[in-house]
Copies of this chain bind each other. A is one copy, B any other.
Amino acid sequence: MSIAQNTETDAKLRCISCGATPDSAGQDFRCTACGDLLEFFFPGWISGPDAFNPPALDPTALKSLWLSRRTSRDALDQSGVWRFRELLPHIPNPEEHVITLREGNTPLYHLPRCARATGVENLHAKHQGMNPTASFKDTGMTVAASSAHQGGFRWVACASTGNTSASMAAYAARGNMHSLVLIPEGKISWGKLSQSLDYGALTCQLRSDFDGCVRILNDLVRQKPVYLLNSVNPYRIEGQKTAAIELMEQLAWEPPDHIIVPGGNLGNSSAIGKALLEMRELKLISRLPKLSIIQAQGANPFYRSVREFGGKKLEPMTADTLATAIRIGNPASWKKALRVLQATGGEVEEVTEVEIAAAKAEIGADGIGCEPASAVTLAGLKKLRRSGFVKSGESVVLILTGHLLKDPDFTIKFHRGDLFDGTADEAEAAQVKYLQRTPVVLDANLGVVIAALDAAERDSGSDSRRAPSEPSDAKEKLNR
């Protein structure tokens, strides 16, 4: 079975390396000529100055069409992805095939305390963790799962222990399809799996490592009618573009100076960059923000590729970071990401484990909860400020990719003070102890509670951010 190209739209597939433009994709979504990744392009948009910008894609008309859909009761219009369907591959008979959980529509928050701390007053966070399964994966999954449904597939599959499997399982269930999750035996994180179990995925632990799972999955989709939902699937990239479109709408189509994204498998960086380039192409925006990509130091193959090899090659590595969502040593979409980094003039950075944990606590103190991988954006911003790449008068948007509740253990350990116990990071971690809010144990006595309150109030001084971070001081005073 092959995935048919839609004929009612001008979206075409193209290999990112050799430029081949196949009529349809194989089930592994790889170029049959050279084996590299495929992506969608829209030849109707770029066929020269005369044909450019056909009436249907008039930017002013598009903007008001998209806005007007916000008042619609149609499921497609209510989705923060399908609301922008003019820039997506067409799904024929959408009322039959589109599977939506009303994904997208995520908030853009000002971060006042983080702004003060970084000296960037115009600092916002686009929180993709507010999607239905609590990560940005949903925006791509709705498009790819709908493509699977339209193709008549009964089974969808991925190799993942985290956010992708959760999202896939939910959309498969909504679309009455079966879902298969392949994970390495013994490396199962029960917390991350609760969602795929709840949504009914068939979960197979293979006696192998992660790469072995991917290999078997690739073989499987070539032999059986199973639809591949790993990040090589170009439909997922298209759906993930909409985060950037929605962001520009929220900013009244005035692009910020900088957008900062976490870098793991690099599909999301690619998608957001692709959206920016396409929006400029279509004159929806007049200039490009700089798109910068931040990796964890323990999972930094892309950072090293750019810094050490000028993007000429990428050396896979064994990844190790507590920010599990970006613990990836061989990112599938690195060439796509490199292209958007260069096209937008963005920068690449790496941050330490402690820098990630501190940044996450600082975002939390602004009332916004995210998973560790999301916090690399703020940690990276601090470095980009120090290097002078981001200036104080510039506007910055951080892309937060997952909700705090995706990884509560990390948060609890950090505030309990044992996240870095016995690791090489212990000394560095001591320096961010002031961000911890360890619970204090007190006698059940009004006077004691009032004293704790007063102590916290005193300690906070003029910087209210620090007040709740020093309960241990309060405790000591009370126990004396």
Measured CB to CB, the residues of A under 8 A from B are 67-68, 70-71, 73, 78, 101-102, 105, 107, 109, 112, 130, 132-134, 154-155, 169-180, 182-183, 185, 188, 190-191, 193-195, 197-208, 212-213, 216, 219-220, 223-224, 226, 250, 252, 360-361, 364-369, 403-406, 408-409, 411-412, 415, 437, 439-446, 449-450, 452-453, 456-457, 460, 464-465, 467-469, 471, 474
Choose among A132, A198, A449, A457 the residue with the greatest number of B CB atoms under 10 Å from its CB: A198
The reply to whether A442 and B207 form a contact with Cβ atoms under 8 Å apart is yes
Partner of A200, one of B174, B191, B365: B365
Q: Please give me the residue from chain B that is nearest to A194 by CB atom.
A: B408
What CA separation (Å) do A213 and B441 show in the bound complex? 13
The reply to whether B437 and A369 form a contact with Cβ atoms under 8 Å apart is no
The reply to whether B200 and A364 form a contact with Cβ atoms under 8 Å apart is yes
The reply to whether B446 and A185 form a contact with Cβ atoms under 8 Å apart is no
The reply to whether A132 and B134 form a contact with Cβ atoms under 8 Å apart is no
What CA separation (Å) do A366 and B177 show in the bound complex? 11
Q: How far is the CB of A173 from chain B (nearest CB, A)?
A: 4
What CA separation (Å) do A460 and B176 show in the bound complex? 12
A134 contacts which chain B residues (CB < 8 A)?
134, 403, 405
What CA separation (Å) do A205 and B438 show in the bound complex? 11
Partner of A468, one of B200, B456, B460, B471: B200
Partner of A107, one of B132, B154, B452, B469: B132
A223 contacts which chain B residues (CB < 8 A)?
446, 450
The reply to whether A204 and B464 form a contact with Cβ atoms under 8 Å apart is no
The reply to whether A439 and B205 form a contact with Cβ atoms under 8 Å apart is yes
Choose among A172, A204, A452 the residue with the greatest number of B CB atoms under 10 Å from its CB: A204
What CA separation (Å) do A364 and B471 show in the bound complex? 40
The reply to whether B415 and A197 form a contact with Cβ atoms under 8 Å apart is yes
What CA separation (Å) do A403 and B70 show in the bound complex? 24
The reply to whether B449 and A365 form a contact with Cβ atoms under 8 Å apart is no
A176 contacts which chain B residues (CB < 8 A)?
112, 464
The reply to whether A467 and B130 form a contact with Cβ atoms under 8 Å apart is no
Task: Report if A71-B71 is in contact (Cβ < 8 Å); known contacts: A182-B449, A199-B369, A364-B198.
Answer: yes
Partner of A450, one of B169, B224, B360, B446: B224
Q: Please give me the residue from chain B that is nearest to A250 by CB atom.
A: B73
The 7 closest A-B pairs by CB, nearest first: A208-B444, A173-B367, A194-B408, A174-B367, A198-B364, A405-B405, A203-B439
**Additional A-B contact list (6), CB under 8 Å, known A101-B107, A200-B468, A203-B439:** A68-B71, A105-B105, A134-B403, A178-B464, A195-B405, A201-B437
